[in-house]
Amino acid sequence: MNANHAIPRTITAGLFAGITVLGFAAPPAPAHADNFVMCPGGHSGVVGDRTSCAFADAVAHAFYACGMCRQFDAYSPETGTVYPMVCGQMRPADFPDGEVLKSVNCYGGDQAEVVVW
């Protein structure tokens, strides 16, 4: 546990890149792991140390409130500022406990990266 009372977790994201060579599609690229800290709200995590769980939870709320749109604004309770956010494509997240959930990485604010599932 850290000062945010967050539990470290690992997310494994599959890259869905297909290359056609001689009429055959190449298999997806190997999955890679992105480390993040799971926030107490249970639907978001923080990548790196550029943001807080309070902001990550606000990003998750805004993401779902807008219908899982790729661009939206999220309010930071830490700074009192509204930041534009941009999210990537949904992808599977494999958690160490065997759970597989859809997730998305969102970027914005002061170089913040947030994982939402």
CA-nearest of 84, 76, 92, 102 to 28 is 92
pLDDT of residue 91: 86
Q: How many domains does the chain have?
A: 1
- Is 74 domain-assigned? yes
- Is 29 domain-assigned? yes
- Is 89 domain-assigned? yes
Low-confidence ranges of the chain (pLDDT < 50): 1-7, 10-33
pLDDT of residue 97: 79
Q: How far apart are CA 31 and CA 116, in angstroms?
A: 18
Q: How far apart are CA 104 and CA 117, in angstroms?
A: 7
* 47: β partners: 113
CA-nearest of 87, 89, 93 to 108 is 87
- Is 1 domain-assigned? no
pLDDT of residue 34: 52
CA-nearest of 34, 84, 74 to 54 is 74
Q: Which residue has the tokens 């890259």?
A: 15
